[in-house]
Amino acid sequence: MLTVRARIQTYSEIAPVVPIVIPDLDEVRKFAKKLHAAGRTWAGEVFGWSAEYSPERPEPPLDSKMTFTPADFSVGESGIWFFSMMWEHGRDKDPVEYLDDRNILRVERRQTHAPRQRHARGLQAKVRG
């Protein structure tokens, strides 16, 4: 889990920045693959986010050239943080992934240096001297 800051778009001109916790994507993938292996519909909360899984169905989606409805998994809240997996190429193929993290603020890590020991001793010598 990683705590980050996200800009939350609202219907007003103000977009507050709040801390949120997002899961490690490898852990999310493991969870989704377990659901996929079980092949049963699931909805609930995982990693602190709403999530759901729907298994593959033999009938195609409406107005689609696909020959079946692929299994899919999603977690998160669109517009804040959202991750999905869809088995578009078949049950036994790798899923197509989508990550919506456009409102997660990137943090530049600033490197801080501790005072050099040599410098600290030099100051002590001046004070004592």
**pLDDT of 101 strictly over 70:** yes
pLDDT in tens, 31-52: 999 999 999 999 999 999 999 9
Give the long-range contacts of residues 87-96, CB within 8 A, separation 24 or more. 87/36, 87/56, 91/36, 91/56, 95/32, 95/36, 95/71
**pLDDT given at position 19:** 87
Does position 122 have pLDDT exceeding 50, yes or no?
Answer: no
Give the chain's mean pLDDT.
Answer: 83
Q: Are 99 and 25 in contact (CB under 8 A)?
A: yes
Global pTM value = 0.74
The HSE-up count of residue 33 (CA atoms within 13 Å, CB side) is 12
14 pLDDT band, cuts 50/70/90, is confident
pLDDT tens digits, one per residue of 104-120: 887 655 544 444 444 44
pLDDT of residue 94: 97
Enclosing H/E stretch for 119: helix 117-128
pLDDT of residue 5: 72
pLDDT in tens, 70-85: 999 999 998 889 999 9
